[in-house]
């Protein structure tokens, strides 16, 4: 049995402007010791998804299940969620400066975290444990640093403090929400290395949310690409990077500047992500998709197996064998599009071609 099994999770928020459909039916599983990378652009619902797992989306209308160790996180009473949050599932946020309290010493904050879950631990024991943890995550002179305030640490060191706090109660699952986005490249490398080491030591499962495909390529085992609140594609890391099926995944990978083609024109995805209040009909990606067909305008594709193994799943109407960026696959895609494109899709395709890289819909 998986450690965490999320099934058809939906989260929406009623607002004055309408219903914001942040997560629209997402299913995935995380195994112990494995890393699932969730990739997506701003507004794709990746953060709402994980915060819902922790009961941190008050006001949201939630349906679906998230089974963690036999309990459903989605309808867990507040008290029980407090016992799980931090102890069995812990979080590392993007910005360590705003997630640490500026007026308390870091040692106190780590100790407090431990004592909140186990009142039998004394304050002195809490501090002692904090010293141990700070040493473990690679902070030099932990016995002195434990008495420092967050502002006395650099960005990378603060993120180490956050990690120390996250591992303090030996959680089974760590959710890392853009943990290295605010850090410089050399420090990011240090932090990713640390996360990998800690994961290997204790067989923790890691849910890594990021918009950086480079980070995913580094540490994920499996990858889920999200677009407009749903999974566009889910596969092993290698399949996502070398054998992708969904045009959105393909577009994301092609947008990144590559060393091999320095100076060439980049191939961005046209337009902007859709508003989560007024989603387009059919496939939510169709207004930006170079392979738009008539079917995409009317029917929303669901995640289905593509390729040979069942593990690679994609939500796109293109044939299951059109994988990767090779010529045969591209020919197959082109042929399918030719057959499947009537007047409606041709109009969308012309709009995309006429306004390359410019105006999408203005948000709000």
Partner 1 sequence: MTGALSDETAQAWPTDASMADDVLVRVENLVKYFPVRGNGLVRRTVANVQAVDGVSLTIPSGKTVGLVGETGCGKSTLARCIAGLIPVTSGKVYFEGKDITNLKRRVMQPFRREIQMIFQDPYGSLNPRRRVGAIIGDPFAVHKTATGAERKRAVQDLMARVGLNPEHYNRFPAEFSGGQRQRIGVARALALRPKLIICDEPVSALDVSIQAQVLNLLADLQADFGLSYLFIAHDLEVVRHVSDSVMVMYLGRVAESGPGSQVYTKPRHPYTNALLSAAPAADPDAAASRRRIILTGDVPSPIHPPSGCRFHPRCPKAQELCSEQEPQLETKPGDPPAHLTACHFPVEAGENLADAVMRSAL
Interface residues toward partner 1, by CB under 8 A: 41-42, 140, 154-157, 184-190, 192-193, 211-218, 237-238, 241-242, 251-253, 255-259, 262-263, 265-269, 272-273, 355, 357-360, 362-364
Residue placing its CB nearer to partner 1 in the complex, 308 or 357: 357
Residue placing its CB nearer to partner 1 in the complex, 127 or 270: 270
Opening angle at CA 34, ends 28 and 39, nearest 5: 55
Residue placing its CB nearer to partner 1 in the complex, 83 or 350: 350
CB 115, min distance to partner 1, A? 30
CB 69, min distance to partner 1, A? 30
Q: 86: part of which helix (H) or strand (E)?
A: none
Check: CB of residue 162 under 8 Å from CB of residue 93.
yes
CB 237, min distance to partner 1, A? 5
Strands 222-227 and 4-15, bridge-based pairing? unpaired
Residue placing its CB nearer to partner 1 in the complex, 127 or 275: 275
CB 211, min distance to partner 1, A? 6
Q: What count of residues does the chain have? A: 364
Check: CB of residue 229 under 8 Å from CB of residue 45.
yes
Q: Which two tokens stand for residue 54?
A: 């922790």
8-32 in b/e burial notation, b at 16+ Cβ within 10 A?
ebbbbbeeeeeebbbbbbbbbbbbe
Check: CB of residue 218 under 8 Å from CB of residue 192.
yes
Q: Which two tokens stand for residue 198?
A: 């800690």
Q: Which two tokens stand for residue 25?
A: 């039916």
Residue placing its CB nearer to partner 1 in the complex, 71 or 182: 182
Tokens 């306004």 sit at which residue?
Answer: 355
Distance CA 101, CA 96 (A): 10
Q: Which two tokens stand for residue 30?
A: 């995380």
CB 122, min distance to partner 1, A? 33
350 forms bridges with which residues in the sheet?
Answer: none
Phi, psi of 14 (to 5 degrees): -75, 130
CB 351, min distance to partner 1, A? 13
Residue placing its CB nearer to partner 1 in the complex, 166 or 191: 191
Residue placing its CB nearer to partner 1 in the complex, 229 or 251: 251
């Amino acid at each position: 049995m998986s450690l965490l099994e999320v099934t058809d999770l939906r989260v929406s928020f009623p607002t004055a402007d309408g219903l914001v459909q942040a997560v629209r039916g997402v299913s995935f599983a995380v195994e112990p010791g494995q890393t699932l990378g969730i990739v997506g652009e701003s507004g794709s619902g990746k953060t709402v998804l994980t915060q819902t797992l922790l009961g941190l989306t008050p006001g949201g209308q939630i349906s679906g299940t998230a089974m963690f160790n036999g309990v459903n996180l989605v309808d867990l009473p507040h008290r029980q969620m407090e016992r799980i949050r931090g102890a069995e599932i812990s979080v590392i946020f993007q910005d360590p400066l705003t997630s640490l309290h500026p007026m308390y010493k870091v040692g106190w904050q780590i100790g407090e975290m431990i004592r909140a879950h186990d009142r039998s631990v004394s304050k002195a024991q809490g501090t002692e444990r904090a010293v141990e943890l700070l040493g473990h995550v690679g902070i030099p002179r932990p016995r002195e640093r434990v008495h420092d305030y967050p502002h006395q640490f650099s960005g990378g060191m603060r993120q180490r403090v956050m990690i120390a706090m996250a591992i303090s109660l030996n959680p089974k699952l760590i959710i890392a929400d853009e943990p290295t986005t605010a850090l410089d490249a050399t420090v990011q490398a240090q932090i990713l290395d640390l996360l990998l080491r800690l994961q290997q030591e204790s067989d923790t499962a890691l849910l890594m949310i990021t918009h950086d495909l480079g980070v995913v390529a580094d540490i994920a085992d499996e990858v889920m690409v999200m677009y407009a609140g749903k999974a566009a594609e889910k596969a092993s890391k290698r399949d996502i990077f070398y054998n992708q099926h969904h045009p959105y995944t393909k577009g994301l990978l092609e947008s990144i500047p590559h060393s091999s083609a320095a100076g060439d024109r980049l191939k961005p995805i046209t337009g902007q992500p859709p508003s989560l209040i007024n989603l387009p009909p059919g496939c939510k990606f169709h207004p930006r998709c170079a392979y738009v067909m008539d079917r995409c305008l009317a029917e929303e594709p669901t995640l289905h197996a593509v390729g040979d193994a069942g593990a690679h799943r994609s939500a796109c109407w293109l044939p299951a064998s059109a994988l990767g960026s090779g010529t045969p696959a591209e020919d197959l895609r082109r042929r399918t599009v030719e057959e499947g494109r009537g007047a409606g899709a041709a109009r969308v395709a012309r709009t995309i071609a006429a306004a390359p890289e410019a105006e999408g819909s203005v948000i709000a």
